[in-house]
Amino acid sequence: MSSDERQARPPGGDEMQGRLAAVRLVLVETSLSANIGAVARAMKTMGLRRLALVRPRQLPGADALARAAGADDLLAAAGVHETLADALTGCRLVVGSSARLRSVRWPQLEPRACAERLLAEAAHGDVALLLGRESSGLTNDELGCCHYLVHIPTNPDFSSLNVAAAAQVLAYELRRAALAAGPPAQQPAGDGGTEAALATADEMEGFYGHLERTLVAIGYADPDQSARLKRRLRRLFNRARPDRTELNILRGILAAAEGRKDPARFRR
């Protein structure tokens, strides 16, 4: 076998499964148990195994088992969460599916580019793909948890996709990206020359809560009139993707702005 042929081979099964195992598919307030089962089947056919449910209207039952068609193990292992923040705990990258543009625009990817981005990040930690309600998708606040949006380019005259159909398209692209992926890229080194650990979704949520409280406390934001401001700030920091050290610096600045740090400590 030539060196070119060796380089063209897809990654080994263990490496591919390792990357896919880091991908968490999160369903938000799914209405029908059957749709959860159909999503589980779509996932399993493409080698995805981690399913999380946020406040499902119906827990997986007989309809889900029937539609899962052999993916019962994914349903049994699926986590059920009261909050989206809990479902995203530990995730370094979050991509949300959206069928329409929003008043505050997030960076947007097509399915293939989305899969490639998720798989590249999955070599270094957990990532998540969010799918929203069958009727209305994800809210603006839920999209605010995302670094990117993914949009499936459907027929504009008939653009509605069932949640399981959308899951199948995205799961296929993830498997395709896993088959084509080369060795994991090295993470950027921090100032100290070591790999920087990016802040996770739950750590960012803690920061956003701290930021909101501080902006209200210092008189910058009206708590009843600042929804758009909060979305824009989320977009800014999600784009920046601070590491944990940078996030600690930001939270220290917020604590100082709140008056919880004494300027005199530098003169002691």
- Domains of the chain with bracketed CATH: 15-180 (3.40.1280.10), 201-267 (1.10.8.590)
Q: With 80 as the cut, is the pLDDT of residue 137 above it?
A: yes
Band the pLDDT of 87: cuts 50, 70, 90: very high
Q: With 90 as the cut, is the pLDDT of residue 5 above it?
A: no
Q: Is 212 helix (H, G, I), strand (E, B) or coil?
A: helix
Nearest to 142, CA basis, from 231, 213, 217: 231
Q: With 70 as the cut, is the pLDDT of residue 9 above it?
A: no
Nearest to 127, CA basis, from 106, 104, 145: 145
pTM, full prediction: 0.82
Q: How far apart are CA 117 and CA 122, in angstroms?
A: 9
pLDDT tens, position by position, 200-254: 999 999 999 999 999 998 888 888 888 889 988 998 999 999 999 999 999 999 9
Q: How far apart are CA 153 and CA 33, in angstroms?
A: 26
- In the predicted model, what is the mean pLDDT of residues 109-122? 95
* Whole-number percent of the chain with pLDDT over 90: 62
Q: With 70 as the cut, is the pLDDT of residue 4 above it?
A: no
Contact (CB, 8 A) for 143 and 96: yes
